[in-house]
Every structure is written in C-alpha cells, then in structure tokens.
Amino acid sequence: MTVLLQLFLLAMTGFRIAALFTPAEETAPPPPLPDHALPTYTVLVALYREAAVIDRIVPALARLDYPAARLDLKLVIEADDAQTAAALARIPLPPRFELITVPPGLPRTKPRALNVALPLARGSLLVVYDAEDVPEPGQLRQAAALFAGSPATTAALQGRLLVDNPEDSWLARCFTLEYAGLFGVLNPALARWRMPMPLGGTSTHFRTQVLRDLHGWDAWNVTEDADLGIRLALAGYAVGDLPSHTLEEAPIRWRPWLRQRVRWIKGFLQTSLTHGRAPVETFRRLGFLQGLCALTLVPGTALSAMLYPICLCLAVRDFLLREIPAAPSFWQNLPTGLALTLFGAGLVALTLPAALGCARRGWRDLAWFVPALPIYFFLVSLAAWLALFELVRAPNRWNKTEHGLARSSRSGLLHPRRR
C-alpha cells in the first residue's frame, strides 16, 4: 500500500516535472482576423460586493480592442447588491455594456450568476473575467484568431493570469510565484499535450455553443472552473493555451488568502466526488493517460496538500537526521528508494515551475523568493484540511474574496486613478 501511494504521488510530480521541458509556445501565433471576419464576442463579469473595483474593471473592459458592434459586454450583479449597483450607476457606461440582475435564489455563487447570463449571450465566443481583472486589450482578437485556426474539439482557451501586486507582502509574492508556475509552465504544457485542465475561472474563453451543450457551470460547485475543465475532457473536448495575460490582485493578508484557498480546495474535493462516483466509467471515457492526469491534478492536488507536511517532516527526519539503513534485497529497498526519489522530485515540482515561470517573464527580482515556497505550502496544507472540514459542515458556502485592497501595482493598472 505504501509503494502504491508513493507511485501515485510520483505520477503527480511527473506531470509537473515534464512540463519543465515543454516549450511555452507551440507554434507561431495565427494571423489576426480582419474586422469583418471577427465573430461576436460575449464578455461576462459576475460582480458581488465589488464596488471597490468598479473604477478598475469598467475602464479595463472599455479598453478591449474589438469592434464595438461585435462586442457583447455583460455585467452580472445580485438583486440585493445595492453598493455595487450604486457604484455602477455613478459611471456612464458605454452602450455596448449591459447590466443583468440575478433574481434572488440559491445557491449564492458565481456559477449561478453566470448561468443566468449564459442564455442571453449573443456571441459565438464567450469569455469570463473576474471583477478585479485587467486583461490585455488585444486578448479577444488573439483568442478569436486561435479559435478560427483550431479544430472544433478545442472548446476553450485558458489565458495566462499574472499577479500584479507581489510587493504587498511575502504572501503575495508566493502567490505570484505559484501563478507563474501554473499559468506560465504547467497549463501551457497540459494544453500542448491535450490533457484535462482544471480551468482558471477567469480569462477562460469558450465556444458558446459547447458551453450551452454542457449546461453551463455547476452552480453548487464552489470551484466551478475545475469541474468544467473535467466535464470538457469527458465530453471529448480540449483546452488550448492563450498566450495573453490578464492582471490580477493577490490577497495580501493571510486570513483572506486562507478563505479563498479553502474554497478552491473544497471545490476540488467536490469535483472529485462528482466525477469519482463511477471511477471505472470516468477512466474509460478519458483514457488511461488523461484519467491519470485528471486524478493527479484534482483529487491528487488536495491529497498531496494534506500529506505535504507529514511527508516532508518524515523525510527530513529519516533522510537528513538519520542514517539510511541498507536492506539485503531490492524489494526491501524499494520503499526507501521511492521515498528518496519522491522527496527530491517533490521539491523540484514545488519550486522549479515557479522559477521557470519567473525566468520566462524576466522577473529576476522575484526569483530569489522561490526557496520560500516549501514554507508557503504549509499554509496550503492547512487550507486543504480546513477545506475537508468545511466540505462536511458547509459544502456550498462561498468564501467571498474581497478585492481592491492592493497597495502596489507593478503595471500601475490596478490603480487606474493614480495613473
């Protein structure tokens, strides 16, 4: 049993280590489409208690470089969110913006709000942004060109998320490094391999009809993007990489960070339970390699986070503080050998994707902070155990992340008024 668990954890690290040797860009970008060939594009932004960032998101969306006649911008708010509605009322929205009010009901989640807006989408392509996002102005044009040059089985494109306030705290720096490894190294590799990808929840572009065929998002899953990524794979679709960035804001204090991470990991557990009810059928539909990838990236992510401090402490005790005894036979040495391999591979998988992501972005000032990631992942482990507890006590509770608290901004775009 110990050897089987070790092999499973090695498989998890294997995908991440293999991503280090996969180029971020697969081919030259396709030529842009002329304006008359561009499809109508729907942009959905779900807003709830987001008055603090209205002055950021509206100008960011207004800067999108796309023909106004083919742009369908929808801001989705809850019926009782008076503060966000008042903040929007103070801004003269251009005609291409539409405000959609979600009627009262349960669950009070972002995916439910998106499902309300989905039938009203006019575009054949659709993107979801978060309230604090600042996408590159040319992102929609780039996505439209990629969709036009991709097979119909490419149902989604995942943009690259960049944290823009790493100087705010050591936690924000670690969050930035984590995103650099995920969106700059791992996700592009998964897209190139055509493996299942837990989506990022924002800057995710879809073929609208595929999204409707899959009945939108799971309104009861608090990490609806991860669930949708697995459902796309089960339906035979692939997710491509969109090499266009969107700026985001990281939590700068540990309590908001912890609440957000608990929600994310709880959603991974919900997704694992949803698609693990018939594991044989799930593996049959995905195939062995895709099934192994989905297993390692969704339930495996939660499991490894829970086991991380236990395994690390045992490894330090057994391999650094004690002499390793040699057994007389290969099979008796196998668990120790696998444990040593897993210890080294785990540290590589934790740190090198972030380091490579920094190198690809030219972030030399952040690369020196990579050795702090093993400490940061002790907090991730705490979040994983709290997520398991919350899954039992409050499975559908949505831990809202407060935005608009960033004190710094490398680009200056998180504070548009100061610019």
What residue segments make up the domains of the chain, in order of their start? 1-419
pLDDT at 95: 84
Q: Tokens in use for 156?
A: 């989604």
CA distance linking residue 247 with residue 236, whole number of Å:
31
Is a pLDDT exceeding 90 seen at residue 321? no
3-state secondary structure 336-370: HHHHHHHHHHHHHHHHHHHHHHHHHHCCHHHHCCH
Is a pLDDT exceeding 60 seen at residue 418? no
pLDDT at 34: 95
Range with the poorest average pLDDT among 178-187, 216-225, 249-258, 405-414: 405-414
User: Sorting pLDDT into bands at 50, 70 and 90, what band is 340?
Assistant: confident
Q: Per-residue pLDDT averaged across 283-295, rounded? A: 93
Phi, psi of 240 (to 5 degrees): -95, 165
Q: Per-residue pLDDT averaged across 290-302, rounded? A: 93
What DSSP state is assigned to residue 247?
Answer: E
Among 278, 268, 275, 277, CA closest to 221: 268
pLDDT at 341: 78
Scan for tokens 């499973």, then name that residue.
8
User: Sorting pLDDT into bands at 50, 70 and 90, what band is 75?
Assistant: very high
Range with the poorest average pLDDT among 76-85, 262-271, 339-348, 388-397: 339-348
Mean pLDDT value across the chain: 91
The vertex-345 CA angle with 341 and 351, nearest 5°, equals: 155
CA distance linking residue 386 with residue 175, whole number of Å:
19
Query: What are the Cα distances from residue 241, in Å, to 39, 98, 200?
Result: 20, 29, 12
Q: Tokens in use for 50?
A: 């987001």
pLDDT at 26: 60
pLDDT in tens, 115-157: 999 999 999 999 999 999 999 999 999 999 999 999 999 999 9
Q: Per-residue pLDDT averaged across 337-346, rounded? A: 77
User: Sorting pLDDT into bands at 50, 70 and 90, what band is 347?
Assistant: confident
Is a pLDDT exceeding 90 seen at residue 96? no
pLDDT in tens, 9-25: 777 788 999 999 998 77
CATH of 1-419, one of 3.60.20.10, 3.90.550.10, 3.40.50.10320, 3.40.50.1010: 3.90.550.10
Q: Are 293 and 196 in contact (CB under 8 A)?
A: yes
CA distance linking residue 223 with residue 179, whole number of Å:
17
Query: What are the Cα distances from residue 309, in Å, to 346, 355, 375?
Result: 12, 22, 10
Range with the poorest average pLDDT among 167-176, 183-192, 250-259, 342-351: 342-351
Q: Tokens in use for 190?
A: 């998964």
Is a pLDDT exceeding 90 seen at residue 326? no
Complete DSSP assignment for 81-130: -HHHHHHHHTS---TTEEEEEEPS-S--SHHHHHHHHGGG---SEEEEE-
Count of CA atoms in the C-beta half-sphere (13 A) of 217:
25
**How many percent of the chain have pLDDT more than 70?**
92
Scan for tokens 């831990």, then name that residue.
399
Q: Tokens in use for 366?
A: 């952040």
Is a pLDDT exceeding 90 seen at residue 416? no
Among 374, 366, 24, 399, CA closest to 163: 366
CA distance linking residue 132 with residue 209, whole number of Å:
27
CA distance linking residue 273 with residue 231, whole number of Å:
13
Q: Tokens in use for 95?
A: 């005609």
pTM of the model: 0.93
